[in-house]
Every structure is written in structure tokens, then in C-alpha cells.
Homo-oligomer: A and B are copies of this chain.
Amino acid sequence: CNDRTMAAATIDDAPGKRPRQGDGPGDGYFESYSYVGIHEEMLKCRRTDAYLKAIEHLAPHLAGKAVLDVGCGTGILAIACAKAGARVVYAVEASEMATHAAQIVSSNGWAPTVKVLHGRMEEVELPEQVDVIVSEWMGIFLLYEAMLDSVLIARDRWLRPGGLLIPRRARLWLCPLRDDGFRAERLDFWSDVHGIDMTCLRALAKAELCRKPRIEEVPPELLAASPACIADLDLATVQPAALKTVQSDVDFTSHVRASLLGFVSYFDVELADGEWLSTAPEEGPTHWQQVSFWWDTPLDISQGETLQTHVSAAQNVANPRCLDIRISCKLAARHPPGSVTQSGRDPASPSGLSSLASHALAPSHPTRLEKTFALDTLC
């Protein structure tokens, strides 16, 4: 195996990934959390360590308080809050895992403190307002699954004014990816398959690679610019309506002359004051991995050149747990002629970069190129 190979899967191919179904009864969203395997994967992910550490640090804010855990799963965070001194923890879980959570709570001696409520957050009744809401609601591309919607409903209904949210803030990041021979490495395979020229499959192979957002571990050295924050959610104030469409205009200025493969996105959340859980490529694997978007053709960018980018992620109309993600971008020159171009050529072509100067445009004159990813849905 090649070290540089991304362990790639589209969302369709990712069985251990978070559920892909909708919301109605019996459609599989909550059912998928009834399996132990998905909890094992989440518990083994460093997200759990990060939450437990943050809860421990927040002990002074939890002592004697009423806590609500939205989507408690096995109950691990609810118990951690109890251990940290909470007076009572309401642990709400819609899947059948609630039954097991109640057993775990009881066999660990936390039944007096942790009350497991089996039901949907939108429907359960709590006996009181709470001081703290804890939840691990993040999906792929942060918002996939739309579980944050349930957390905000819980906040508006059950959190006392000024109450604490864990996490308190969430950010979604986008960054252009260097190709760096990456795509060619995959596609060059077809030019000599056991001595047979299968170049005619190259275009088809490329289309398959680019067809959908890719859930994969992206090597951090492929990041081509400083990442840009495309959504910064203060969970105490963000309104549910704002989650229906998240969009942002961001500029990336390339540090180097490079051929771009597309974009990568990842997120981070602030669990406690200054304590972040980040799923960035350089932070090491999580079960979320990253989401990458590959262009059909590479985009050549020069040093100092700016990629004006618009990104939007909208909840799918038919299934709000899914996302329709669109990214469009164009090059705008900041520097003198000779530094700006876009090419439809394949990066595999070694002569690709030498002819750039002839396509150079005037400074500050945006190229005509505009590319919208035909990657509509993360479902």
C-alpha cells in the first residue's frame, strides 16, 4: 500500500459512518443507533476522550447542577457529568440503546443521579429546567444528520437563561487541496494495466472519483492554503432557521504555485473554554474523517493568487438530515500578469505548467472560470 493513498469512501460506502436515513418512524435513523458496533466506533474515537476531559475540567460548573444529555447513546457522557458532581442528569435517547444505557447507569451505581428517558428529544418531558446541556451531535461536514436541530430545540425549551452548553461553539472549515500528483497516481494506473493500454477508462475513473463528496482521511500536507472558517456557530444564540442553509464567501490565497485537486472540509467544536475537539487532517483520525470534494479537472493556481469561493450547505428538502453542498469558485489575480491562469489539463501532463504564461490575465481581472461542484447531496 502507498502511504499517500487516502482511505477513501463516499458516504454510500461508509458503513460505520453515521446513519444516512431520514427521520420518520422506522426509516432507520434512530434504528441505526441501536447497533452496538456504531457505539463501539464512537467510544473508541478520540472524541470520547476529549469530551470526558472537558467534562472533568467543567466540574466546578456542573457540581450540584441539573444536566440534560441530548442523544445519550450508551450514557457515557451522562455518567461523566454525574461523576463530575451533577445533581441530576436527564439522559435522553430515542433509539433502543436507551434500554441499555439505563442498565449501564444502574449497574455502575448512578441510577439515583442519571435518569434515562427513552424517547425523542422533541417529545420527552423533563421535570425542570436544566443548567447544562451536553451533547455529541456532530455529523459528517458538521451538520449532516441535523441532530443540532434537536439540541437547539432542547436549548430553547429546557435550558435556563445563561445555562451552559457543551460544546458551546462549532466551526466548519474549508481549504483547497493540492493535487501533488495525487489524482494522477490513481489515474495513471489505466495507461498500463499488465501491459495493456486502458487509457480510455481514465475519464470514467476520474468521473467516479469526483462524483460525490468523499469521506476520507486527507493527508495534511495536501492543504494548499490557510483554511477558512465557513460557519462559526455560537450554540447559545444560533437559531434553528440558520441551519437550513449555511453559506459563506471566502478567499483563499495560495502560498505556492500548485495544481488544485478540490477542497477539503472539517470541523471543530469548543467543548469548554479554550478546549477544542478538532477533526482537522493534522489532528489525527476520528470516525468522522474529513470530507473532500474533487474537481473534474485540476485548477492551476499561482503563488499569491486568490481563489474566490462560495460555499453553501442546505438541508435536503426531501430529507433534512441530508445536505446539498455546493461549492463554486473563481480565480482573481492579485499579482502581476503571468501568475494567473486556469487549466483544464490533467495534472498528469508533465508539460502542464510550462504553458501558463500565455494564458495570463491582467492583474485584478478575475478569470472567466467558475466551477460549481455537482456534488449535491451527502446521503
Contact = CB atoms under 8 A, between A and B. Distances in A.
Interface of A: 9, 12-13, 15-16, 35-37, 39-40, 43-44, 48-49, 52, 74, 76, 79-80, 100, 103-104, 107-108, 189, 193-194, 196-201, 204-205, 208
Contacts of A208: 35-37
A276 to B, nearest CB: 20
Given A15-B12, A36-B208, A40-B205, A76 B200 contact: no
B104 A74 contact: no
A48 B195 CA distance: 12
Nearest to A96: B204
A287 B39 CA distance: 28
A74 B40 contact: no
A108 B74 CA distance: 58
Given A15-B15, A49-B194, A104-B201, 4 more contacts: A40-B189, A44-B189, A104-B196, A104-B200
A76 to B, nearest CB: 6
A194 B13 contact: no
A196 B76 contact: yes
B205 A79 contact: no
B36 A100 contact: no
A197 B74 contact: no
Given A13-B15, A15-B13, A40-B189, A107 B197 contact: yes
Contacts of A100: 200-201, 204
B107 A74 contact: no
A201 B108 contact: no
A136 to B, nearest CB: 13
A76 B198 CA distance: 9
Contact of A108 (B39, B52, B104, B197): B197
Nearest to A12: B15
B107 A36 contact: no
A194 B36 contact: no
A104 B9 contact: no
A92 to B, nearest CB: 18
Nearest first, the 10 closest Cβ-Cβ pairs linking A and B are A13-B15, A36-B205, A103-B200, A36-B204, A104-B198, A36-B201, A36-B208, A108-B197, A43-B193, A37-B208
8 contacts: A9-B15, A15-B15, A40-B205, A44-B189, A49-B194, A104-B196, A104-B200, A108-B196
Contact of A197 (B104, B199, B204, B205): B104
Contacts of A74: 193, 198, 201
A58 to B, nearest CB: 16
A107 B199 contact: yes
Nearest to A34: B204
